[in-house]
Structure formats: structure tokens, C-alpha cells
Amino acid sequence: MQRLNCIISYDGSAFSGYQIQPNQRTVQAEIENVLKKMHKGLDVKVFASGRTDASVHAVGQSIHFDTPLNIPINKWKIALNSLLPEEISVIQVQRVSSDFHARFNVKTKEYRYKVSLSKDRDVFMRHYHFHYPYQLDYIAIKEAIKYLVGTHDFTSFCSAKTEVEDKIRTIYEIEFSENDDLLTFRFIGNGFLYNMVRIMVGTLLEVGQGYRKPEEIVTILEQQDRTKAGKTAPGNGLYLWKVHYDN
């Protein structure tokens, strides 16, 4: 038995999210189906760094599973990609020790969120960014970002639907850049709560439009109340970009 870690990319617009759900097309179900075929009917359970919601993309999702198969490590990627649907692609496969866990060993995660400020809709990008054709005050957004970075109770930036109790997370870095009307937010943290990135983006865009002052972030965090933060930005702009582990 060996444990393999795979980096995978998928187009969230093709799935009802990452996690298996009855009668839904999910990323996990597609991968487990392929592994079952490769293992001649044996169920192989896949563990991911975390779930992603419907319409949310992954450039570098990380998963692991155990296998008794004697396929050379450099053939695994080709074997998996030849069986997986075109909306999922395996980028890298490596052997890891049996105590590696794709979820529990996560050190930091990076998410990106893409916003198009272009006046015209781009029909080819409709699944891949949030179309938000408004002028934004970048200085205000940058100031608001400063209040989000650090270790905080993020209850106000977490969907009320969560079952997680500990809402304290550390954000190490939030960057944003603009290029040709495309705004990219980059978040690096030790973990993110349910809808946390999308609520942060929704709130930052409201700051950018002048509906909220940057300093409001401080009181929103203090109030620990989801209704105080901004709208949840849509899933189609969100990408799970990279998962880091301890070496």
C-alpha cells in the first residue's frame, strides 16, 4: 500500500461542488469513479485539502488516497488523465508518507478571486470571473485589506450554515492587482471558513464603491455577526489556487 498526493485542477462550472452528494455531479465522485475502475471495483476513498462549492474553481486542489497498485509513479498522471472527464486535470502526482493527510497537514492555502470591471460582458469569461462593471476606489480597498490581515475571529465573514465552532483564523497576506480591467485578489491564510473569501471580497467591493468606510472592517469583525458584513460574492470568480504543507 502506498499513499499518493495529487495536485488537481477543475472547472467548477461543470460540478455541484467538490464533495460527493447524492444524484449530483461532483469532483470527488468523478475521481473516486476513476479510481474504482483502476482498482477493478475496489472502493478508494479520496481526501481533499477541503471542499469547494458549486461553480468554484481549482487550479491547485490537493488530494490523497491509498493504493495497492504497482503503477510506476511517473505513469499515474497519464493514467488518471486518460480516464478523467475533460473538466478535471491532474497536474502532478507524488508518493507521500503514510502519515501525510491532504486536509490535516495543510499549513497555508491560497485562494484567488477574479473580478472583471469591464463595461461589456465577456461571454467567454462568464464562468471564470465576477462581472462587476463599476469604478472602484483602490485606496479604500487597500486600507480595508489591512484590517482583515492578521489573526481574528472571522464569524462575521462566515456563512451561518457552517458547523465549525472555532472561527479564529490567520490571514497572512491579501494582495490585489489590476490588469486590463481584471482585478485579482489573492488571499493566503492558515485556513478559511465557509464562504469566507467570497464574503471578504463582497465586503471589499462595497468599500471600493464607497458604500462602506475601510474602518468599518474593525467593527464588523468585533460584532461577530454575519449580517454586518457585505454580500457573498459569486462562486464563479473564486479559485483554490495552491495548498502548502510542511516539508
Task: Tell me the C-alpha distance between 3 and 222, whole Å.
Answer: 43
| Cβ 121 to its own copies shortest distance, Å | 5
| Cβ 122 to its own copies shortest distance, Å | 7
The residue among 30 and 216 lying less far from its own copies, judged by its C-beta, is 30
The residue among 104 and 124 lying less far from its own copies, judged by its C-beta, is 124
Annotated binding site for substrate: 111
**Contact (CB, 8 A) for 27 and 10:** yes
- Catalytic residue among 53, 153, 180, 225, which? 53
Q: Taking Cα atoms as reference points, which of 105, 103, 99, 107 lies closest to residue 3?
A: 99
| Sign of the four-CA dihedral 131, 137, 140, 145 | positive
Task: Tell me the C-alpha distance between 175 and 187, whole Å.
Answer: 7
53 is catalytic: yes
Task: Tell me the C-alpha distance between 106 and 100, whole Å.
Answer: 10
The residue among 54 and 140 lying less far from its own copies, judged by its C-beta, is 54
| Cβ 233 to its own copies shortest distance, Å | 17
Annotated binding site: 111
Residue spans of beta strands (DSSP E) within the chain: 2-10, 47-48, 57-67, 88-96, 106-116, 130-131, 150-153, 168-179, 182-189, 238-245
Binding site for its own copies (CB under 8 A): 9-11, 57, 81, 86-89, 91, 120-124, 126, 128
Task: Tell me the C-alpha distance between 42 and 46, whole Å.
Answer: 13
The residue among 91 and 182 lying less far from its own copies, judged by its C-beta, is 91
| Cβ 33 to its own copies shortest distance, Å | 17
Q: Which residues are catalytic?
A: 53
